[in-house]
Structure formats: structure tokens, C-alpha cells
Amino acid sequence: MTSETSNGDAPAVAGMLSEKLGTSIAGWETGRGLPPECYRDEAIFELERREIFFREWLCVGRADQVPLPGDYMSLTLIGEPLIVLRGEDESIRVMSAICRHRGMVLTEPWDGEWGEWFDDPPDSKGNCGRGFRCPYHFWTYGLDGRLLGAPEMNRTPSFQRDEISLPRLRTEVWEGFIFVNFDDDAAPLAGRMDSLSDLTRDWQLSRMVTEEPAVLRKLPWNWKIMQENSMDVYHVDRLHFPRHAVLPGAGYLPLTIDTGDAAIAAGHRATHKDFALSPIGKPLLPVIESLTDDERSLSYVICVPPTLLIILNSDSAFYRLVHPRNAGMTDIRQTLMVPNQYRSLPNYKDLVQVGSAMHLRLNHQDYMVDGSLQRATHSRFAPRGPYGWQEEIVAQFDSWVARRYQRATTSLPDVDPAVVGTGV
Ligand code: FES
Ligand SMILES: [Fe+2]
């Protein structure tokens, strides 16, 4: 991959971008999308790792995926293998999965298939009982991450078992979504999300149950392309015609919600009450009982950048975790959430399967777009186009990112969009 910015020095990269960023902070009316290099350049991805992914709250899944003490799931996030688990005290913990001895990943399939060593370990889950045992030399760790045992180490004078434990990440749970932060100084998420808790109260997200997520690895596009496409309502009447007719672009409802810059959100008015993106425009599952009449014709899209996207519908909610590997490659984990009692419907599995068929078609159309847009970022004719009014939330997202680029250096002057112009 070619790179116009050859080093990963954050201030240098941000400085190079600075004259172009103002237009991505200006809002949809006068603004322009992020510069194409932000989607393809590894030096800029390195800036994002430092300024965004290692400083902001990242979603790793749902609390109901680890309901009992000892339940765990593992994933690799920004190159870091992590274990998400429920402790003996019922609290959620997220720890590094890297053994403190030589660095074996505790959840690695030690007896895996030929060639598996070329890739990140696959996601895993289960109940680990009282802890984890490293497959290499059998060091064992408790549910709190502390080292419990290490065979043959008693002859090593400098070995202090009590001093060794798996590094633990800051963890918060909002409405059942588990967030981690690599930055001990980051502002808490709690409190900042209250307005979104109010907005989504009737969906009762924290009480929903989570279907097994689909994990799509190594999608060949930048993480921001995926988030932007998921929030863009401008395309739904066109690219998805006629499958998206119940949620037309004209139904876009901009929202002004104070989240202390933690999240962005928009509403989307459906053509009728009790809508769904199903072949009949109606939900196959029951409508969520606690919704008001008004909410039964409303969808919300919520993005907690950089990783989480949530879409609320009249019968369920969908979420997607967007986890980049590098500038041009992204993993996603996505699934449906429903009220707990739906699982006891006699034909629940069939209804979910039928309902997801059309979503798969919609997703495939979006993935084609994502791949095409990523390739275009390498063109000498790559655009920085204007936003349509139904892309207002995309402009908010781009602004959120651009302000983090600006934060990378204190030497950047305040950028006045009127002075900078379009920067195209
Ligand atoms: S690397 Fe884990 S016990 Fe040696
Ligand atoms: Fe789409």
C-alpha cells in the first residue's frame, strides 16, 4: 500500500492534515468528507490508534454474553488479545489475554489447524471455571487475573507469584454494552450517556438478550467507511430500492443530544407503525410492548465512536462492533438483540432466520459499496464530496474523528472553516 505520509509521528501527521480538517468539522451544510488519505494511509491509522482507539471507549460485546461467574469470551481488539469475563463477584472484567511469562495468548487454540498461527486467535467463549491455564508452560490465572500457579518456578529466586497478574482494562457497562478503555485518564462514559439512556428507555436495551454475533474478519475497507455507510440515510431509497421503502430517506430526523462528545444519534421515521425491514414491511417478531405509539414508527441509529453502532427497530435492536486491523482492513461482530421473552416463542429461531435474510441482502449491497469506496481512496481522483441533508449524522461522525486528529497536537491553530475553504 502506498503511503503519502511516511512516518507515524502523530503531531507530524496531524500537522499535515490540519489545513484540510476544518471542512470536516464545519457541519453538513458547508462541510466536506474526510480527506481520502484518512481511509488508506497507515501513518494516519497509527495516529488513530494513539488518539482514538487507545483513548476512547471501545465496545467489546454485551454483558448477557457472559451471564455466570467464570463465563468468558475472547477477541482481538486493535491487535490486543482480550478476555471478557464475569467474575465471582458478578462484575464484568476485561483483561489482557497475554500470559505474563513468555506471552502466549491464553485463549489460543494450542492444538489448532495447520496455518492458524498466521492469524489472530479466533474468538472463543465458554466457562473457564476458576480461571485460565496457559497452554505453553501451564501458568494459571484466577478470575481476577492474579497468577495462581506456575510449575517449577519455585527455584527462581526473583520470581514473586503475588506480584504477577494479567493487566486489566478500565471497563464500563452502558445498557448492557461492555466498553473498555486503554487510557486510565479518559473521562468516564457513565453520566455522559444519560441522555441516550432516556432516548432508548422504552427499548429496555439492558434487559435484551443477544443472539450469537456473526464475526466477519478482514473486510477490505477502512473502519470509518463502514460506520459512515451504516449511518447514511441518503442511499437507502436508491442503493437498496425497493427493500428499504418502509424507512425512506425523507424520514431522517436529526437529533441534538448532549453526550459530552461520547456518542452521536439520529432518528428515522418509518412509513407506518410497527414497521420492519422485512419483505412485508412488518415485523416477524412481536412489537416491543413498552414502546409508545410514536416509537412504534421510529428507528434510531446510535453511534458510540469509534466502534459501536446500534439501530433500534420496533421489534428488536441490531448492533455492530467495528474493529479495525489496519487502515484498509476491518473486522466486524454484529447481531440482533431482542426482549428475553421472545426466545420462548415456539418458532423463534425460524422467525429470526427469515427476518435476517433481507438484512443480509441489504448488508451485501452495503459491503459492495464499502469495498468500492475503499478502492476509490487510492485514486488520484478520490473525492471529498459535499454532504446531503440526509447525511447530517455522517458529517457529525467525520467531525468527531477530525477533532481527534486535531487533538493529536497542541500546536495546531484553531481552524476556521471559512478561511480554509473546501480544502479539496
Ligand atoms: S508463556 Fe504462558 S506459561 Fe509460559
Ligand atoms: Fe445501506
Q: What fold characterizes domain 61-171?
A: Rieske Iron-sulfur Protein (2.102.10)
d(CA 351, CA 285): 7
3-class secondary structure, 190: coil
Question: Is the CB of 105 within 6 Å of ligand 1?
Answer: no
- Which is more confidently placed, 154 or 115? 154
What's the pTM? Answer: 0.93
**Count of beta carbons in the 10 Å neighbourhood of residue 195:** 17
Which residues share a beta bridge with 174?
Answer: 177
User: What is the domain partition of the chain in residue ranges?
Assistant: 1-57+186-417, 61-171
Amino acid identity at 268: H
263 Cβ contact partners less than 8 Å away, ≥ 6 residues apart: 192, 193, 196, 257, 302, 303, 304, 305
Ligand 1 pocket, mutate which of 136, 140, 156, 161 (most atoms under 8 A from CB) = 136
Q: Are 288 and 274 in contact (CB under 8 A)?
A: no
Q: Which three cell numbers stand for residue 21?
A: 480538517
Per-residue confidence (pLDDT) for residue 385, from 0 to 100: 95
Is the pLDDT at 413 greater than 90? The verdict is no
pLDDT in tens, 221-262: 999 999 999 999 999 999 999 999 999 999 999 999 999 999
Question: Is the CB of 364 within 6 Å of ligand 1?
Answer: no
CATH of domain 1-57+186-417: 3.90.380.10
Per-residue confidence (pLDDT) for residue 1, from 0 to 100: 35
Please give the DSSP secondary-structure letter assigned to residue 141: E
Amino acid identity at 114: W
* pLDDT band with cut points at 50, 70 and 90 for residue 8: low
Cα 357 off chain centre by: 23
Atom 1, ligand 1: residue with shortest CA distance: 102
Cα 326 off chain centre by: 15
Atom 3, ligand 1: residue with shortest CA distance: 137
How many residues are recorded in the chain?
424
* pLDDT band with cut points at 50, 70 and 90 for residue 14: confident
d(CA 365, CA 48): 28
CA of 338 to the centre of ligand 1 (A): 40
**Count of beta carbons in the 10 Å neighbourhood of residue 421:** 12
pLDDT in tens, 30-77: 999 999 999 999 999 999 999 999 999 999 999 999 999 999 999 999
3-class secondary structure, 327: coil
CA of 382 to the centre of ligand 2 (A): 21
